[in-house]
Amino acid sequence: MLSFAAYPYPKSDSYKEILVSSMVAGLLFYIFLIVFQPFGTENFHHQYKYLLLFPYSLIFGTSFFIADFCIIRFKDWNIGFELLKLIGIIFLASILSYFYNTLVISHVKLSFINFLYMFLYCLALGIPISTIYVLSRYIYLKSIHERTADQVSKQLADYHQPTDHKFDTTLNIAANQTNLQIPENYFICAQSMENYCSVYFIEDHIVKKVLIRISLSDLLNQIQTDKIKRCHRSYILNLNHVKSLKGNAQGYKLFLSEIDFEIPVSRSFISLIIPRLKDLKT
């Protein structure tokens, strides 16, 4: 169980994704309320019943948005953290729901016992829904990425990198006392390590590695082309050197024949990298 909780989980990496997922979560919660009407909701009779129930969806969606907004900068997210986040969402939603129910619908005195009941209701409702949400999202993303990775890998297997580099663009890298000139197709990748970058390239049919004092962003500004792109907060690569890729719920791992380590693709860069890999053959 503990090993399962430590497994990486894809959290939302953009504010747009957070907003959309929060709206969807709130809408689904509202649909669940009006369809199943749990915990005595079916006994609540009012001319504007469904209108009065709608703020619960806003409460749940807002709680979802706040939680995702607070964790957007966290790294190394996993299933255990995701479950803790969902418990936090349930707790926040129970507080907001309690005040809404007490002050707007029930008009009863505020009390800890009533809040405890509301929290238990939210917990009983939220745990199974949250568990289904975590597992279904994980399985869905894993399936989508694995299928795409297989398709692109098969396409890359038929792709032959150009061997005539006579008219290659020359990449000029200048930082402190270092000046490098590398033909575009001889550049392999660059890896960021705090204030330094390791640059991998081919020279005289040998893969060389040079450590340069420069940020990855500054390096990208000097060498970015149609084939050389950033794919992760720590990596720049030459798409022409990608031989295959694997997909999981987190995203993709790229494999280059010239180096012995895999290069990850952040979820925020998937829409940039994967379509370009698909277009290599053309």
- Comparing 83 with 202, the larger pLDDT belongs to 202
Give the pLDDT confidence of 112-130 residue by residue, as tens digits. 888 898 888 888 877 777 7
**Nearest CA to 200 among 170, 180, 226?**
180
Q: How far apart are CA 48 and CA 204, in angstroms?
A: 78
What mean pLDDT, rounded, does the chain reach? 84
In this model, does residue 90 exceed pLDDT 80? yes
Give the pLDDT confidence of 250-259 residue by residue, as tens digits. 789 999 988 8
Least confident of 124-128, 157-161, 247-251: 157-161
- For residue 144, the tally of other CB atoms under 10 A from its CB is 12
pLDDT of residue 84: 87
pLDDT of residue 47: 81
pLDDT of residue 164: 55
- Cβ-in-10-Å burial (0-12, 13-18, 19+) of 133 comes to middle
Do 220 and 212 contact (CB within 8 A), yes or no? no
Question: DSSP of the chain, one letter per residue?
Answer: -HHHHTSB-----SHHHHHHHHHHHHHHHHHHHHHH-TTTGGG---TTHHHHHHHHHHHHHHHHHHHHHHHTT--S-BHHHHHHHHHHHHHHHHHHHHHHIIIIII-----HHHHHHHHHHHHHHHHHHHHHHHHHHHHHHHHHHHHHHHHHHHHHHT-------TTPPEEEEEETTEEEEEEGGGEEEEEEETTEEEEEEEETTEEEEEEES--HHHHHHHH--SSEEEEETTEEEEGGGEEEEEEETTEEEEEETTSSS-EEE-GGGHHHHHHHHHTTT-
Share of the chain above pLDDT 90, in %: 26
Give the pLDDT confidence of 201-228 residue by residue, as tens digits. 998 889 999 999 999 999 999 999 989 9
Q: How far apart are CA 192 and CA 234, in angstroms?
A: 5
Strand partners, 237: 189, 229
Match 């590695």 to its residue by tokens: 209
Share of the chain above pLDDT 70, in %: 93
The pair of three-digit structure tokens given for residue 19, joined into one six-digit string: 């907003």
pLDDT of residue 278: 82
In this model, does residue 4 exceed pLDDT 70? no
**Of the ranges 4-18, 37-51, 215-229, the best mean pLDDT one:** 215-229
pTM, rounded to two decimals: 0.70
In this model, does residue 166 exceed pLDDT 60? no
